[in-house]
Amino acid sequence: MTLAPDAVARPAQPRLTIPELIDEATIEAIAGEAWVALVGEDEVLVPVPGDLPAETLSAWVDVVGPWTGTVVLTAGRQTAADLTRALLGEAAPELLDHEDVADAFGEIANVVGGNVKAALPGPSTLGLPQVGEAPDVRNPEDVCRLEVLWRGQALVVSVQGALPALPTPHPPHHPHPNGASL
């Protein structure tokens, strides 16, 4: 009996981590273009690390495809409010409520996430934006993190894998000839 070519078992492709698929410079270019398009032509992200305040807010979108993960924007709550005002421009209400900030910050994460998705191998799908406390980093080897300043305020853009950490290889087990373990 012969197997059809499609029925032959193929070795599983190793799952690539995000640093193998995209680099910090690409994320910086994507975020910078989204910033100019959404926030304004004179608005720039400066690739200089800054300290996030104790009170932060994150917005993120999930990417599901050959690489599965999350694109996360994290900033201080005041920075998120300032971004909302910049995004809404003259239409910004005098008093912002949480929904205004969540919608605006989520929209920025959505645009950045969609452009990151387009730079990754596909086909992939993009989830709906979420806003709250940043998702935990599940695998430190599957993260690309960009720290920037916007109007002197710290902002972090991270692309992080959503799958559990890759298994750690264990040294081979060699039983002793008399049956005892070494």
Tens of pLDDT along 3-50? 555 555 555 566 788 998 999 999 999 999 999 999 888 889 999 999
Mean pLDDT of 130-139: 91
Higher pLDDT, 155 or 93: 155
Tens of pLDDT along 140-181? 889 999 999 999 999 999 999 977 654 555 555 555 555 554
CATH superfamily of 23-161: CheC-like (3.40.1550.10)
Percent of the chain surpassing pLDDT 70: 81
Helix (H) or strand (E) holding 118: helix 98-119
Between CA 87 and CA 90 the distance in angstroms is 9
Domain residues of the chain, as ranges? 23-161
Residue 76: strand, helix, or coil: strand
